[in-house]
Amino acid sequence: MLRYLLSKLMTFVPTFIGVTLISFVFIRALPGDPIIVMAGERGITPERYDELRTQFGFDQPIYIQFWDYLTGVLQGDLGTSFVTKKPVWDEFFALFPATLELSLCAIILAVLIGVPAGIIAATKRGKFLDRALMSTALIGYSMPIFWWALLLIIVFSGNLGWTPVSGRIDLLYFFPAHTGFMLIDSLLSGQDGAFGSAVKHLILPSIVLATVPLAVIARQTRSAMLEVLSEDYIRTARAKGLAPARVNGVHALRNAMIPVVTVIGLSVGTLLAGAILTETIFSWPGIGKWMVDSIFRRDYPVVQGGLLLVAVAVMVVNLVVDLLYGLINPKIRKR
């Protein structure tokens, strides 16, 4: 198992350097001068402009800028925001719990609904329930996120008034952020109604963010289960008189879990990196909205550091998925 883990860790280094290069090139490929953007409508004198270019290192050749950035990253320095003057580390970890909380709720919702839906569809292959579930999954996968989010806001927030439109909790609640996770902090605060408010604010963003991975997980579970259910050992288990629940839930599901776990792992990474639309629509104060705002402000350190940290988070998730492969199927560890 240790050799298997080390072989996976070895892929981190080239991936990390590649992501660093891509994030560096990406932000500089955007049109606009960050110094002009920072100056805004006030304008800036040529002397002050040259002074700021030298201060931020923009007067250096591009390869020297990249080397300086890479050296700083390897030393744990992601730079300081041009706008807020705060270290990128501090801003990221102040906002990351909001994105992580939303992503975890979304993936839990997707797994709790998607896996059972895929199992039911596989066991009812060709019947009405199978067609209904897979048609619903296809609709969920094809639906534009921004349209789905706005539709839910109009219906449940505007017309019915059941859920809030934006934010993480009502403004009348104020308490220290011990963990950064609003559900936990609201419980620790002991304020009446705080936890309920946090849950209400989380419902619509979680549903919107979970829609696509839920559909993918359901379809992948169905496909994997159908493949396993046709194997000889499943027919043997049925011939022995084992209960259908045991055959489907133990013998079939465990052997079908590897592709499902792959999809779940990729979905977690996608949620962490792709919550931008959801966070923007619901004004969710996470890293997605933070990075969108930073792109418009041409805040190079924030965009570069944010992309890099999100990529590292996705890499860690993929590593965990690879390790789960080894636990589910020990033969994989020997490859």
Q: Dmax of the chain from CA atoms?
A: 86
Give me the pLDDT at residue 93, please: 84
Give me the pLDDT at residue 5, please: 64
Q: Which residue ranges in the chain fall short of pLDDT 50? A: none
Q: Which residue segments constitute the domains of the chain, with CATH numbers given? A: 88-334 (1.10.3720.10)
Give me the pLDDT at residue 112, please: 92
Please report where in the chains the tokens 């994989």 appear, as a residue.
Answer: 332
pTM of the complete model: 0.77
Give me the pLDDT at residue 18, please: 82
Q: Where are the alpha helices (DSSP H) in the chain?
A: 2-9, 12-29, 34-39, 46-56, 62-74, 88-123, 128-142, 145-152, 182-189, 194-229, 232-239, 244-246, 253-274, 276-281, 287-296, 300-328
- The Cα–Cα gap between 139 and 205 comes to 18
- Rg of the chain (C-alpha set): 24
The amino acid present at 277, given as its one-letter code, is: L
Give me the pLDDT at residue 3, please: 67
Both structure tokens of 238: 């049925």
